[in-house]
Amino acid sequence: METHTTGSAAAPLLQVDGITLAFGGVKALNGVGFAVQPGSITAVIGPNGAGKTSLFNTISGFYRPNQGRILFEGADISQVHAPQRAKLGLGRSFQNIALFRGMTVLDNIKLGRHAHLKTHVLDALFYLGRARREEAALRAEIEERIIDFLEIDHIRHAPVAALPYGLQKRVEMARALAMQPKVLMLDEPVAGMNREETEDMARFILDVRAEWGVTVLMVEHDMGMVMDLSDHVVVLNFGQVIAQGTPAQVQADPEVIRAYLGSGDVGDLRQRLHAGLQGAAAEGS
């Protein structure tokens, strides 16, 4: 798969700056910092319990950090609530699929748009007639583009609960895209998928960036996919960034190898890591 490089001179679209998050005495995140460049695919990896989900929840605004800031398009959004962050352009999927299982695929996608609906009373009063029809038409057009793009036309009227897991994950991505995010945050997009489903999802992630110009930030355990797709990889262990850089840089980093495989001879560990990074992730957890 082709790797896309981004200019290092561009201002970051998203910046995580010195984030510390504690649950009681446990520091889930400890001084975490990294930047997401516009147009990049950035992956956060790390053994189980490293802090990846806590980090995603902090960026989305579900958790308030004890220290540090989140900057989006240069503005400090640390005090902005989760729904407003979604409106600003931080769209996300969840590790455990968070769809309305009894509803159809299309209805789930339509709900993704609710972050953009006008809910203020005054807005609603003036939000009549032509403007309303135009927005409804525009929304329908976007939904159709997403359905077409993710190849889910044939299941648009199917209840989500009736779909195989891989397709449910695709519907979740569709719903996140319906929010027209600038950064699409994917929490373990290929977890539980078979090889074919994983390859499909990898292709969609690349196409989302290429065709929709969406920046991608993902948490993922599948190392093969992370290394194939990502421009920038951030490695967490025990709540701290232990390495970051290109896939080649982090794969060669002794700290990363130790985090995944435990202590031992780095040369030997590196060989094992290259032989089966994905198995190593499970082993290291």
Ligand X SMILES: Nc1ncnc2c1ncn2[C@@H]1O[C@H](COP(=O)(O)OP(=O)(O)OP(=O)(O)O)[C@@H](O)[C@H]1O
- Shortest distance (Å) from residue 229 CB to ligand X: 18
- Shortest distance (Å) from residue 47 CB to ligand X: 7
Spatial neighbors of 222 by CB under 8 A, at least 6 apart, are: 190, 191, 198, 278, 281
- Shortest distance (Å) from residue 196 CB to ligand X: 24
185-224 residues near ligand X, rule: CB under 6 A? none
Q: Rule CB under 6 A: is residue 26 a binding residue for ligand X?
A: yes
Side by side, the strands of the sheet bearing 67-72 are 26-36, 14-23, 67-72, 75-76
One symbol per residue from 33 to 72: x for binding ligand X (CB under 6 A), - otherwise; what is it?
Answer: -------------x-xxxxxxx------------------
- Shortest distance (Å) from residue 120 CB to ligand X: 33
Choice between 50 and 59, CB closer to ligand X = 50
Q: Rule CB under 6 A: is residue 181 a binding residue for ligand X?
A: no
Question: What would you report as the CA-atom Rg of the chain, rounded to the nearest whole angstrom?
Answer: 20
DSSP states along 110-155 = HHHGGGGS--SHHHHHH--HHHHHHHHHHHHHHHHHHHHHTT-GGG
* CB distance 232 to 5 below 8 Å: no
Choice between 187 and 231, CB closer to ligand X = 187
| Binding interface with ligand X (CB under 6 A) | 23, 26, 28, 46, 48-54
